Amino acid sequence: MNLPAILSCLGKKENRPIFHSEADFQFALCQQIAATHRDAKIRLEKCMQVGERKYELDIFVVRGNTKYAIELKYKTKSFEGSINHERYSLKNQNASNLGRFDYFDDLERVGKLVRANLASIGYAIFLSNHSVFWRGNGQGAISEQFNTADGREVEVDQTMSWVGNPSRGSVGASRFGRTIVSPVTTQFQWQEFSNFGNNERRGQVFKFLCNQVGPQNPEVM
């Protein structure tokens, strides 16, 4: 299953180049996977457990003997417009520090599922029209080590943490004091998803980041 190709197809103007919410994106991506691979068995919010940790996985796909664990993030900049005769009014989600951390959290999560043999291949996907995520490296911010900028390189087992020991109130209880360990060596490569005028400042350009973890067994592919 070539998930980047599926995302590129989904983002075409005649399909779903924009979404009202992350749940809207999640459902549309499942529809596109099903249309591309009619043998796919798809679950939403599947409960998975690794050790003492329980996860609700965004999308779980089974094709033959291959199991795919997929986590999604959809972070938006304010945008108003009618696309394909449907009105969209996206909110400005300014918490870039939390968005960066949450993406790495997703990446680590699918990595744990792959290492526990609960999934053959893991994907962490980040879709946004906010260029701060692919252009901003977070330098000087508490999320500097969770930089998601285009071209960022991370190494397997690389440990990342908050800078400056932020308070529980500033990052939330579930993120407070957390470190993230990268499950993969990769270079971040953002790809264009859709474009409504080529003006990033106005939120008219959507890009996606799709990082793969595994397979541990090459025969899975």
201 closest CA partner among 124, 132, 136? 132
Q: Are 96 and 88 in contact (CB under 8 A)?
A: no
Does residue 215 have a cis bond before it (omega within 30 degrees)?
Answer: yes
Beta bridge partners of 204: none
Residues of the chain with pLDDT under 70: 216-221
Report how far apart the first and last C-alpha atoms of the chain are (Å, whole number). Answer: 9
Side-chain half-sphere CA neighbours of 71 within 13 A = 24
Dump pLDDT digits (tens) for 88-100. 999 998 789 999 9
pLDDT at residue 95 in the model: 85
pLDDT at residue 74 in the model: 98
pLDDT at residue 102 in the model: 96
Dump pLDDT digits (tens) for 59-103. 999 999 999 999 999 999 999 999 999 999 999 987 899 999 999
Give the whole-number percent of the chain exceeding pLDDT 70: 97
pLDDT at residue 51 in the model: 86
